[in-house]
Amino acid sequence: MTTDYAHFLTSLVVDLVAITVLTYALYYRRHQRRDLTLGFMGVNVGLFAVSSFTATSTISIGFGIGLFALLSVIRLRSTTASQEEIGYYFVALVIGLVNGLATEDQWAVAITLNVVLLGVMFVADNPRVLSHAERHMVVLKGVPRPLGSLRADLEDRLGFEVTRLRVLEIDYSRKRTSVDVRINTARPVARRADRKVARRADHEVERPADHEVERPADHEVERPADHEVDAHAGARAVTPPEELAP
């Protein structure tokens, strides 16, 4: 009994260390969702307790697989979870199951599996891995557009290259279209409004400004001088007197 109890304590410590690293060092640090940290910890410790208590040579494998499937169905049917949360949830289940069912002669395999699971989650959920790939659910209002022009319309709205799109719903009565869009943020696309602004700016640069148009100055316009006008007027006013007849 002493050896079995020491083995149980060792298994519990290994399980707690592994699930703490998974929950707080990996998941919470990257996703900042506190409610799921409690779910991961509770599911892992609960599965470890049940599997270690009933771990025997006759029912350990079948019981572990059945309990794993049951908890998975209950969890996935309760709330809608994202793919990242489902991945962390399954790893938390596997860590509790592996540590709870591990025997004394399987400790090397159990510790190796713990390290491998944590390492895979660290690399797969690293923000630097595929950081430019994003997924968005876009709902377009208005009259549904032709499917051939949908990619160009989404690129004009989002500002990035659309690598893949899938039309989820076309509702003609409500005039909306739901699209699952995958974009690459490393490849920006010029929007239609930006292109118009750029063309307008180029047109204004090519057109000469008003003050650059050459116009003759007022002093360059040939006008008769004032004294010339007076001379002509005087000439027309003074006429020689006619000689009177005798």
pLDDT in tens, 16-48: 999 999 999 999 998 888 888 988 998 899 889
Q: Which carries the bigger pLDDT value, residue 207 or residue 70?
A: 70
**142: region left, alpha or beta (phi > 0 left; psi from -120 to 50 alpha):** left
Per 3-state DSSP, the chain is made up of helix, strand and coil in percentages (nearest 5) of 65, 15, 25
**H/E stretch holding 182:** strand 176-188
Picking from 79-83, 140-144, 196-200, 227-231, which range would have the lowest pLDDT averaged per residue? 227-231
Q: For residue 109, what are the CA distances in angstroms to 52, 57, 122?
A: 16, 17, 20
Contacts of 68 (CB under 8 A, 6+ apart): 47, 93, 94, 97
* pLDDT tens figures, 96-121: 989 988 888 888 899 999 999 999 99
Contacts of 155 (CB under 8 A, 6+ apart): 161, 162, 189
